[in-house]
Each structure stands twice: as C-alpha cells, then as structure tokens.
Amino acid sequence: MQQITDESMQQMLMQTKEYTLVLLKSVPNVQKENVQQILWEHGRRNFQLRAEGLINIVAPVTVENNLAGIAIFNADAEKVKEIMDGDPAVKEGIFTYEILSVRSFPGDSLA
C-alpha cells in the first residue's frame, strides 16, 4: 500500500475544488399519465448537461428508495438550483431535490 505522508496529504488537499452535489428524491404516489415521457426528457437533459461539462457524475439509485439519484455538478449552488428548477421531472412534481456543497479532486472519475 502506498504511504501517504502529511506533506502529500496537504498537497493533495490544496488541489481540491468545490462542486455541488444534488440528491434527487422521488415524490411518492405521483399519478401522471405521461410520467415515462417526462422521465425520458429528464434523462435527455442530464445527457445534455454532461455534454456541456456541467454534470461530472450522474448516478441513478438502483434500489427501491425515495432517493432516485445523485449528480455532481461542476457549478455553484445558485447555478445548480436554476438548472434543477428547470428539470422537466422537477417541474412536473415527480422529483424534488436537495443541494449540498462538496469538495473533491478535479479529474477523479469512476472506474
């Protein structure tokens, strides 16, 4: 195992950057005729935000839970609120969301 010294930790920590984490939550018992189409457009929007570099990580939750997904945005909380308020599934009351400011290392990715 690689040894991590205090000095190397300090150097790495100085490289962190602020990101915005979104916790996307399902609203229970939503009865909408076109819910699948709304969710499809929500997904399309996520692909567009990824392509624009605004979302670094997007991950749907795959177990039954009121937490529907998470996203890490490369934008400040104010911009993310604006983006999320325009989300088709949020506008239609299918999802709500919570925004949290976080720090991480630029360039980190899922393997």
At residue 1 the predicted structure's pLDDT band, cuts being 50, 70 and 90, is very high
Cβ atoms of residues 41 and 95 within 8 Å: no
Judge whether residue 102 has pLDDT over 90.
yes
Task: Tell me if 66 is assigned to some domain.
Answer: yes
pLDDT digits (tens, 9 = 90+) for 28-57: 878 888 999 999 999 999 999 999 999 999
Q: What is the CATH number of the domain that holds 76?
A: 3.30.70.1060
85 CB neighbour count, 10 Å cutoff: 10
**Cα–Cα distance list, 79 to 50, 55, 74, 76 (Å):** 15, 12, 10, 6
pLDDT in the model for residue 54: 97
Q: How far apart are CA 14 and CA 49, in angstroms?
A: 27
Number of structural domains (the chain) is 1
Under 8 Å between Cβ of 41 and 16: no
Instruction: Print the domain residue range for 79.
Output: 14-104
pLDDT at site 45: 98
- For the entire predicted model, the pTM comes to 0.89
Q: Report yes or no on 8 lying in a domain.
A: no
Is residue 27 one of the residues assigned to a domain? yes
What is the per-residue pLDDT for 28?
86
Residue 76: HSE in the Cβ half-sphere, 13 Å Cα cutoff: 1
Examine the pLDDT at 9 and tell me if it is beyond 90.
yes
Closest alpha carbon to 57 in 72, 75, 69, 76: 72
